[in-house]
Amino acid sequence: MFCVKSNANVIYMNLNLRESMVKAVVDGLRKAVVYLPIDVKNALKKAYEEESSLAAKAHLEAILKNVELAERLGAPLCQDTGIITFYVRLGARFPGIQYIESVLVEATRKATVEIPLRPNSVDPFTGLNSGDNTGRFVPVIIWDGVNLESDSLEIVVVPKGGGSEYVSTLYMAVPSKGIESIEEAVLDAVIKAGAMPCPPTIIGVGIGGTVDLAMHLAKKAATIRKIGSRHPNPFVAELEEKLLRMVNDLGIGAMGMGGKASTALAVHVEYAYRHPATYPIAIAFQCWAARRAFITIKPDGSYTIEQ
């Protein structure tokens, strides 16, 4: 244990922790915008191998080259570094809880200058761009659970671009036809989205719950869940596989130029119990540049970043 001599010392130690937290989040953001997670890279390589359409293949090749170049140069792999979302999983015994919100805002500002990130935070009424990726409710901070036993802070950072966000869709199906409507809803959303979300995409489908929960589940399924992971519910796992086959059979292909193997890399479905009178089906798209990082910060300020 520490031997704390005065209050000043306590503040000094906590300030060190706060500084480490800012550094951890800036590093996490850098890793997320420069390096594509390995599961996404492998899925893109597989799509490239399986794709027979010449135009789609040319775009997939360009994507793979771009990913390599970004890594080599340490540059953001896409110029649209998005609106930043943080999912915070709190260890109840983590000593820096009081700093979290201010740390996330400060780290976003710092990362915008240092990496750099494109300033994307705009007042919806005046059109004014804050210039530093912060603003009212932005960056988005989602409190995503508390672990009473843990003394670590876990933050998932998701910088998601505007092109894939633009085509998000929410359907309120007639409950008696709800389950039959899922395939229809997903296929319609994919056709409506067309080439706009930069296919190949990862499609997140949130079923049931309240409207906000349905979209929350869809968003997490699209952005955080790793490609190749299987849903624990076998019915859902089968539905995911069937939906992925159907979506790719639509033949939209990489960048919408036609192709049988590169409309989507994965379909991830998540669900919650619903009200008898409602059947929400939320669909969120993640572009091929599926950027994410998992940051874990220990009480002493040391941290690890995974993807």
Partner 1 sequence: MGDVYKLVTPLTENDIRKLNVGDIVYLYGVVYTARDAAHKRIVEYINRGEKLPFNLSNGVIYHCGPVVVKEDNSWRVVAAGPTTSMRMELYEHEIIKRLGVRMIIGKGGMGSKTVDACKKHGAVYTIFTGGAAVLAAQAIKRVIDVYWLDLGIPEAVWVFEVENFGPLTIAIDAHGRNAIDDVLRSAAEKRKSFVQLSTQHFYNIEHRELI
List of residues contacting partner 1 (CB under 8 A): 54-55, 58-59, 61-63, 65-66, 69-70, 73, 75-80, 116, 118, 161, 163, 166, 171-174, 177, 180-181, 183-185, 187-188, 190-191, 194-196, 198, 246, 249-258, 287-289
Pick 52 or 102: Cβ nearer partner 1: 52
Pick 77 or 239: Cβ nearer partner 1: 77
Min dist CB 97 to partner 1, Å, is 35
- For residue 252, give the 3-state DSSP assignment: strand
Pick 91 or 159: Cβ nearer partner 1: 159
Q: How far apart are CA 155 and CA 88, in angstroms?
A: 5
Q: Which residue has the tokens 């802070």?
A: 153
Min dist CB 303 to partner 1, Å, is 27
Min dist CB 124 to partner 1, Å, is 16
Q: What is the DSSP letter of 133?
A: S
Which of 29, 30, 40, 34 minimizes the C-alpha distance to 224? 40
Structure tokens at 51: 């794709």
Alpha helices for 140-177 (secondary structure H):
162-166
Min dist CB 84 to partner 1, Å, is 16
Pick 10 or 73: Cβ nearer partner 1: 73
CA separation (Å) from 96 to 22, 101, 234?
A: 11, 10, 40
Q: How far apart are CA 60 and CA 275, in angstroms?
A: 42
Q: How far apart are CA 286 and CA 265, in angstroms?
A: 10
Pick 145 or 194: Cβ nearer partner 1: 194
Min dist CB 131 to partner 1, Å, is 10
